[in-house]
Structure 1
Amino acid sequence: MTDTVRPGVDSEVGRLRTVLLHRPGPELKRLTPRNNDQLLFDGIPWVSRAQEEHDAFAEALRSHDVEVLYLTGLLTETLALDEARHRAVEGVTASLRLGDTLRDHLRGWLGELAPEALTDVLTAGLRNDEVRGGAGLVTSLLADDDFLIDPLPNLLFTRDSSVWIRDQVAVTSLAMPARSRETQLTQLIYALHPRFAGTTTIHGWHREHVEGGDVLLLAPGVLAVGVGERTTPAGAERLARQVFADGSAHTVLAVPIAQDRATMHLDTVCTMVDVDTFTIYPNLADHLVAHTVTPGEEGRLEVAAAEPFLVAAAKAMGLDTLRTIDTGLDPVTAEREQWDDGNNTLAIAPKLAVAYERNVETNARLEAAGIEVVAIAGSELGSGRGGPRCMSCPVARDDLAPA
């Protein structure tokens, strides 16, 4: 990287130095009552308020000396390169639903757009009635408001499309069709933007499904990977093989999680706020288990029998025990705040975490346990069911000493 901060992340709680965010943009204005479920939003956010909330989130990070990078800014800079523009246009026009006539027209039109305008189309999408030219059977039979290029409102959740593991980045493979293009754009940035020159990229959008919200860096060399609605067992196995082969991890905990909208990723069940402390959803705490996976001989994986997650995690991290902070005072409160992403905290440093201000009970428990809470507004940001951790991809953290 060209800047002074060295890329790399070896834990969830090392001092955060650089983070990748996406400021809500015109893609959110594409949400309607007809498509918001398909695009994975519970409601239609008030976009200008969501932008204000996100700006305050970014400023809270900057006030703690965190460098904030924006995904669309990096994408626009990347698209100034001919190779990047070619890859992006070829990728977005590959859909079989376009047909040859429309595909050829779009390739020519998109290829002539300025980088900023091309970024807008790639992220906010393109409707049938916004196309000038390329008329044919496909454009005639589609409704005016049908999308030829789908919008990407979930770009807000930059955690899911990539995760840094030490000094390399795993570009993930998102399971939901509405999000499949996000990782292609992310991979384009890491491959061609000058800031990331020389970065080793693993996994990739074409691989088995792994989402960044399911990957927790518990300690140097120790990963936990949630396996459930979004990350498949095959995806967890592929990632384990990759990090073992390159030496970036020695232990992977495969953690089955319930197929539930309120617990879609592992980071909606538990997150870390200190080197030995987890926030955890109490309704699942006693049921969460893990299979410890370690490298075996001749490329085999050694997979241990399931044991309680906190027990397996403590062993892998070299600790006697782990501290937990329940995210609610009772099952009803816990479930309510779980739905409002009370458990999805972002650690800026040990004992310092960002959380939504509306999760009053959860934040009170964090503070009582000695965790300083940086509270941010999230009434509109939360409509996509994601909290501060979901909305951030750490690019650089200070290293923690190995256990």
Structure 2
Amino acid sequence: MKTDKPSTYTIRVSSEVGDLKRLLIHSPDRGLGKVVPSKAQDWLFEDIVHLDTMRRDEYDYYVKLLLYFLDPEKVRGRIAEIDADESRSFYKPGAEGYFDSDRVVDLQSLLGFILKDEVIRTKLIASICGIEKCSYHTQLELTAHEPDELAKIFISGSLSDERMLFSPLPNLIFTRDIGIVINDYILLNRPAKAARTRESLLAQYIFFHHPMFVDYRDKIIEIPDNDKHFLLPEDEKLNDYNRSTLEGGDVMMVAPRHLLIGCSERTTLYAAQQVMRILFAKNVVDTITIVKIPKKRDYMHIDTIFTQVKKNMWVLLHSLGRQGDEARKKDVLHFFAAQALDQELKIMQFHKGQEHTPIEIENLEDLLAEISRNDLGCQDEVKFIYSGNNEFPFGDREQWTDSCNLLALKDGVVIGYDRNDKTLDAFRAQGFRVLSAADLLAQFEAGTLAPDTLTDTFIMLPSAELSRARGGSHCMSMPIWRNDP
């Protein structure tokens, strides 16, 4: 941010569908263009992407949409001018024409700001060089760079002359995973994979040192590790009962006093229990529901199998819902094999003061309907939209390209990918208007539609390259302020 003085910013999220007011994003950086096939899986990226297409033809629409809803003065009447900017200065933190919004905030701009402080810059250079096992010469070389360029280097792993110093952070576009706001507390993640260690360190420095979060520093929660982790044998350190790893895609603030935590490929039960203990002790929430999903790459986090569309509507993968559960139980061999491998979906709900007597919930639909009715006070019928319109094989195909991973800009207005045709048909059947990002922006510019009056709308984001990264609009956002539902 441009200001050099601490300012007061509202940090509060108490639902998934309250009007979105502020969020953290990260636009695709030059590091994504450096991912090579032989290292893609090590760097936790699904594929190599065409960076310019991902930026200009896809992600830039995401930024313009977010600005139109959250900070319209930055873009209203300027879309044609912005699109004509070949230098892309509007989207680049540190550039002369950068949009510099305090509502749609790029992590890189926050990092560049804190690196202006010489003490922070020195500490962070030393920390990153230690993690990346850099030479002393490289450490000295990094001290010579200006803060904005240094921020780019830390994120992309490369210098402006194309030389790579260390691996890129291609997953940083999925800002949801670095942390989550729970009411007015900030829960920082503990990544499951070493490839995201630098990412986590950068987030830690940003949240503890940027003025945006100065009033919330005593409300930042870091998940403790096993007290005796350094004494455990190496094989036991990898055991889920000892590991404390959690990523933001497995945490949903669904109602002011109710939090969901997924146990998945990336988030362990041990970490979920630690978060529950801390939040109950601080009286942040009264109810925590743990949703254990199969540890499969297809799912990864709970927000890949369901997200909320409006107070009384959810989108989810049918094979992990009620129908899928019934079908699996009929297949006796599958059922017992899955039980033996601990691959079944399980839902346990814990209430403050009654942690030792959790309630088991049979299926996702029952859980989500309960949230809509009991926590959000919905009087209307609770509805479910299924990935691929519940048609084989499109449910699984479209879930793989993030049909269930939607960001609600407000109740009933969501952003998702344009390629999930059957899921879009299901939205149309529920009365939703389905518009491409380009068409919607054109109508905003013409004054025929307005963000404030938009209802029941699915906004289609171009996604040929973005979908190859295996994360949707929900993954690509960290809301830090929503109106209460």
Fold agreement, TM-score > 0.5: yes
CA distance in 2, matches of 1:369, 1:197: 43
Match of 1:209, SS?
coil
- Structure 1 stretches of at least 4 aligned residues deviating more than 6 Å after TM superposition: none
Q: Report the counterpart of residue 476 of structure 2 in structure 1.
A: 391
Match of 1:271, SS?
strand
What is the CA-CA distance between 1:234 and the residue it aligns to? 0.7
| Match runs of 1:180-219 below 5 Å | 180-199=197-216, 200-203=219-222, 208-219=244-255
Quick check: 1:216–1:224 contact (8 Å CA) kept in 2?
yes
What is the CA-CA distance between 1:56 and the residue it aligns to? 0.6
2:376 pairs with 1:359: no
Q: Which moved more, 1:184-193 or 1:317-326?
A: 317-326
The counterpart of 2:386, out of the listed 322, 326, 329, is 326
Quick check: 2:158–2:168 contact (8 Å CA) kept in 1?
yes
Match of 2:252, SS?
strand
1:108-157 CA distances to partner (integer Å, 9 max, x unpaired)? 33233211221122111159x988xxxxxxxxxxxxxxx75321011110
What is the CA-CA distance between 1:84 and the residue it aligns to? 2.1
Q: Report the counterpart of residue 465 of structure 2 in structure 1.
A: 380
2:136 pairs with 1:104: yes
CA distance in 1, matches of 2:409, 2:286: 25
Q: Which runs of 5+ in 1 are unaligned?
A: 132-146
Q: Report the counterpart of residue 151 of structure 1 in structure 2.
A: 168
CA distance in 1, matches of 2:474, 2:122: 33
| Match runs of 1:260-299 below 5 Å | 260-286=296-322, 287=325, 288-296=345-353
Q: Which one-letter code corresponds to 2:349 in the other structure?
A: T
| Match runs of 1:122-271 below 5 Å | 122-126=154-158, 149-199=166-216, 200-203=219-222, 208-271=244-307
Match of 1:34, SS?
helix
Q: Which moved more, 1:341-350 or 1:82-91?
A: 82-91
Q: Which one-letter code corresponds to 2:421 in the other structure?
A: V
Q: State percent identity of aligned pairs.
A: 30
Quick check: 2:318–2:386 contact (8 Å CA) kept in 1?
yes
CA distance in 2, matches of 1:248, 1:234: 19
Q: Which one-letter code corresponds to 2:195 in the other structure?
A: A
Quick check: 1:92–1:149 contact (8 Å CA) kept in 2?
no
Quick check: 1:283–1:331 contact (8 Å CA) kept in 2?
no
Q: Report the counterpart of residue 60 of structure 1 in structure 2.
A: 65
1:69-88 CA distances to partner (integer Å, 9 max, x unpaired)? 10111110111112321331
Q: Which one-letter code corresponds to 2:471 in the other structure?
A: G
Match of 2:104, SS?
strand
Q: Which moved more, 1:322-331 or 1:231-240?
A: 322-331
Classify 1:301/1:295 alpha carbon distance in 2 versus 1 (closer, same or farther; 3 Å).
farther
Larger % of strand: which? Answer: 1
2:136 pairs with 1:79: no
Q: Report the counterpart of residue 140 of structure 1 in structure 2.
A: none
1:242-279 CA distances to partner (integer Å, 9 max, x unpaired)? 22122221111111111222211000010001113210
Q: Which one-letter code corresponds to 2:321 in the other structure?
A: A
Match of 1:160, SS?
helix
CA distance in 1, matches of 2:420, 2:9: 33
Quick check: 2:157–2:168 contact (8 Å CA) kept in 1?
yes
Q: Report the counterpart of residue 451 of structure 2 in structure 1.
A: none
Match of 1:290, SS?
strand
Query: Over aligned residues, Cα RMSD in angstroms?
Result: 2.4
What is the CA-CA distance between 1:314 and the residue it aligns to? 4.1
CA distance in 2, matches of 1:389, 1:333: 21
Q: Report the counterpart of residue 116 of structure 1 in structure 2.
A: 148
Q: How many residues align?
A: 378
Quick check: 2:17–2:308 contact (8 Å CA) kept in 1?
yes
CA distance in 1, matches of 2:428, 2:69: 18
CA distance in 2, matches of 1:261, 1:312: 24
Q: Which moved more, 1:78-87 or 1:384-393?
A: 78-87
Larger % of helix: which? Answer: 2
CA distance in 2, matches of 1:191, 1:197: 7
Classify 1:301/1:314 alpha carbon distance in 2 versus 1 (closer, same or farther; 3 Å).
farther
CA distance in 2, matches of 1:381, 1:310: 29
Quick check: 1:183–1:205 contact (8 Å CA) kept in 2?
no
CA distance in 2, matches of 1:73, 1:104: 27
The counterpart of 1:307, out of the listed 358, 362, 365, is 362
Match of 1:18, SS?
strand
Match of 2:484, SS?
coil
CA distance in 1, matches of 2:194, 2:289: 27
CA distance in 2, matches of 1:353, 1:228: 25
Match of 1:39, SS?
coil
CA distance in 1, matches of 2:271, 2:458: 34
Quick check: 2:316–2:404 contact (8 Å CA) kept in 1?
yes
The counterpart of 1:337, out of the listed 375, 386, 398, is 398
Classify 1:347/1:3 alpha carbon distance in 2 versus 1 (closer, same or farther; 3 Å).
farther
Quick check: 2:31–2:158 contact (8 Å CA) kept in 1?
no
CA distance in 2, matches of 1:150, 1:110: 15
